[in-house]
Amino acid sequence: MPRSEFYPPIDPYQAGTIAVDDLHTVYWEQAGNPRGVPVMFLHGGPGAGASPTHRRFFDPAHYRVVVMDQRGAGRSTPLGETRENTTERLVEDIETLRRHLGIERWHLFGGSWGSTLALAYAQTHPERCLGLILRGIFLMRKSEIDWFLYSMRVLFPEAWSAFAAHIPQKEQGDLLEAYWRRLDSPDRATRLAAARVWSVYEGSCSSLLPSPELIAASGEDTHALGLARIEAHYFRANRFTPEDKLLRDVHRIRHIPGAIVQGRYDVVCPVVSADELHRAWPEADYRIVPDAGHSAMEPGIRAALVQATERFKEYR
């Protein structure tokens, strides 16, 4: 019977920070087997940060689990900082950490924005990748961003109404810019209020069945501020050129073992993006979980991801 449950909680055996430039310092940690096969966990958002639960996707006897809070997220500083915060800089940070830890090649594991960043890194540094395990595919295209800002109300009208209601009616024609004005306000209370509403909106739409725990976590100050500020910043200023770059450049990684896990009823990152990625990368194992939404913590998604890390033990 394939394993479908999380591994027991583990603590890091090493943690630290790296100053990646004059502004940003990123937090990193390692857990599991120091002599194991390296795997890099890439969190979502952008800006969501990592949590102790994320270590539990991996067999600690087999994997050397590396976790990093990306620029401006989680335990990295400054929290919510958008200056010098681009996809290219995040790819450079991953390489900086790889060299710092003396790792030659590693697996990448990322969901939602983490899938975006994993694809961007792998297409830039394919020679460093043992395999890619991706969940809830997001390709940073305008259609996906517009869906998030406006069209999720088709399935979550109550959550969207609360999201839109934070903005005066006269500004609702461009929710992204209206939110950005508040998220970038010099007034902390204004920033936090907008960030909580943005983050709770996303959390409310992230699971197939209601999850009070997920919604509560979404409203926590550090999580909300990092997520909302950096997510809005990326939606405004950090899309790819050309827009479908990640699909166009899949040829650079088709030789790398891949797994794509996607909730059938993922509303935050609809299944169409995963389908397009798999059509461009037919060699990747593609699994649609029939009774799940977006969250990696839903039982079917969690099981499929743990099973993928088990299958990938053969690649080292």
What is the CA 102 to chain-centroid distance, rounded? 24
What does the alpha-carbon distance between residue 158 and residue 151 come to, in Å, rounded to a whole number? 12
166 included as an active-site residue: no
Active site residue: 204, 223, 266, 278, which one? 266
**DSSP assigned state of 205:** T
Sign of CA dihedral 41, 140, 211, 224: positive
Active site residue: 24, 43, 223, 294, which one? 294
Active site residue: 69, 107, 112, 115, which one? 112
Find the distance separating the first CA and the last CA of the chain, reported in whole Å: 23
294 included as an active-site residue: yes
Q: Which token pair is 315?
A: 């690649």
Strands 25-32 and 14-19 come out as antiparallel
Residue type, 136: G
The angle at the Cα of 46, spanning 200 to 143, to the nearest 5 degrees, equals: 85
Q: How many CB atoms lie within 10 A of CB 72?
A: 28
266 included as an active-site residue: yes
CA dihedral 142, 146, 147, 148 (to 10 degrees): 110
Catalytic positions, written as ranges: 112, 266, 294
